[in-house]
Amino acid sequence: SQTIHQWPATLVQPVGSPLSLECTVEGTSNPNLYWYRQAAGRGLQLLFYSVGIGQISSEVPQNLSASRPQDRQFILSSKKLLLSDSGFYLCAWKVAGADTQYFGPGTRLTVL
Amino acid sequence: EDQVTQSPEALRLQEGESSSLNCSYTVSGLRGLFWYRQDPGKGPEFLFTLYSAGEEKEKERLKATLTKKESFLHITAPKPEDSATYLCAVRNDYKLSFGAGTTVTVRA
């Protein structure tokens, strides 16, 4: 069966520091991968998605970036965090061509 | 732009008190309406996908229905373990657009 991992689970970072969040999927090949951010009381906002290694599409212009160095690995990064980057970051995957996305456990990021 | 609106924002129920959650949507070319359950501090858990008006799906005490403009999630005789935030999303091409969710609290 397929599983999705995210780490770290929680992170507290100062403003201006770098960020690296990692997501890996097991039990499937060539998944579509997604990064979302969830702010309190708001819906999930799609940040990036990827249909293959090295292929990244950005939904929202901001100081975040994403990379997919391996088939089942998706990384969210920032060179300098802003206060507004605080939130709950979710990684999701789906089988290419299928409809349903499955979410990871999330990373709670607090920028102070 | 796709829009998804969920109501109410919060719902407090007594155990056994059935109720319904609403998800109204505007999308050009619906390619699926999705319901997820999210527990505090965790990622959303997939519940149902609906594709066409009139379609219904059931899972335990939950039943989802779909019309051309909205979807309902009916909770029949809820238990405290049904307490969660329920998210609705619509798919247009590659992208899911989510509503803000309805937080359901079921008291014993």
Q: What is the pLDDT of residues A8-26, one digit of tens each?
A: 999 999 999 999 999 999 9
Residue from B3, B9, B96 whose CB has the most chain A CBs within 10 Å, to mutate: B96
Average the pLDDT over A64-72 and give the result: 96
Average the pLDDT over A22-43 and give the result: 93
User: In terms of DSSP bridges, do strands B19-26 and B33-38 run parallel, antiparallel, or are they unpaired?
Assistant: unpaired
pLDDT at A6 exceeding the cut of 90: yes
Average the pLDDT over A64-88 and give the result: 96
Q: Give the pLDDT confidence score for residue A41 in this predicted structure.
A: 74
pLDDT at A28 exceeding the cut of 70: yes
How does residue B29 score in pLDDT terms, banded at 50, 70 and 90?
A: confident
* Chain B neighbors of A108, CB-CB under 8 A: 41
Q: How many CB pairs under 8 A join A and B?
A: 49
Q: Dihedral sign, CA of A26, A1, A90, A94?
A: positive
Strand-pair partners of B6: B23
C-beta neighbour count of B62 within 10 angstroms: 19
Q: Is A79 exposed, middle or buried (0-12, 13-18, 19+ CB in 10 A)?
A: exposed
Q: Give the pLDDT confidence score for residue A15 in this predicted structure.
A: 97
d(CA A78, CA B45) in angstroms, rounded, equals 28
* Chain A neighbors of B94, CB-CB under 8 A: 49
Q: Give the pLDDT confidence score for residue A36 in this predicted structure.
A: 96
Q: Give the pLDDT confidence score for residue A40 in this predicted structure.
A: 80
Q: Is A58 on the interface with B (CB under 8 A)?
A: no
Q: Is B10 helix (H, G, I), strand (E, B) or coil?
A: strand
Query: Backbone phi, then psi, for B31, in 5-degree steps?
Result: -120, 35
State whether A103 and B34 contact (CB < 8 Å).
Answer: no
pLDDT at A37 exceeding the cut of 90: yes
Q: Is A29 exposed, middle or buried (0-12, 13-18, 19+ CB in 10 A)?
A: exposed
Q: What is the pLDDT of residues B7-21, one digit of tens each?
A: 999 999 999 999 999
Q: Is B89 on the interface with A (CB under 8 A)?
A: yes
Q: Give the pLDDT confidence score for residue B1 in this predicted structure.
A: 78
Q: What is the pLDDT of residues B36-68, one digit of tens each?
A: 999 999 999 999 999 999 999 999 999 999 999
pLDDT at A105 exceeding the cut of 90: yes
Average the pLDDT over A31-49 and give the result: 92
d(CA B20, CA B25) in angstroms, rounded, equals 16
Q: Is A95 on the interface with B (CB under 8 A)?
A: no
